[in-house]
Amino acid sequence: MYIAILVVLRSAGGFGLSVMFALAGLVVVWVAFRFSDFAWPQWVFIVVWFSAAGIGGGLGSFLAWMSLEVRSARETALSAVLLLLGGLAGAWGGYYVEAILPEDPDPFGGRAISSAALVWATLVPNLGATAFGVFKGIRTGWM
């Protein structure tokens, strides 16, 4: 029972931290875009915007599932890289589904594209971390 509660709490914490860091990444990019004197090309803004959401999502998931007492430094670094890549893949997947697949793509037309990117940047690394945590718990005999 303890392990089930731990998995639920870590998953909930991962989702909360992922949303918080992904939104913080978007706010930082928006402030940098809004208050800089440099005229950003559209493709640079899109790359930085969705990458910030993905990195924030992966970072939040990593912080929720990080356990330093059991892991080696190599395993911790590998999980950090995998979760950051999962967040980036989720953010860019959400961008692709909302902006590229429709017949009338409009990258700056609304909040739906950024919302889809945030949802997927949160879901992908957290589902991966939860699956890995459950697998590791079963493998080590905790579950």
Contact of 143 with 1, CB cutoff 8 Å:
no
pTM for this one? 0.84
pLDDT at 142: 67
Q: Which amino acid is at 143?
A: M
- Residue 70 has phi, psi (to 5 degrees) of -110, -30
What residues contact 125, with CB distance under 8 A and at least 6 apart? 14, 18, 57, 58, 60, 61, 62, 83, 84, 86, 87, 90
- The whole-number mean pLDDT for each consecutive block of 10 residues of the chain, a chain of 143 residues, reads 83 94 92 84 88 94 81 85 94 84 60 83 93 82 67
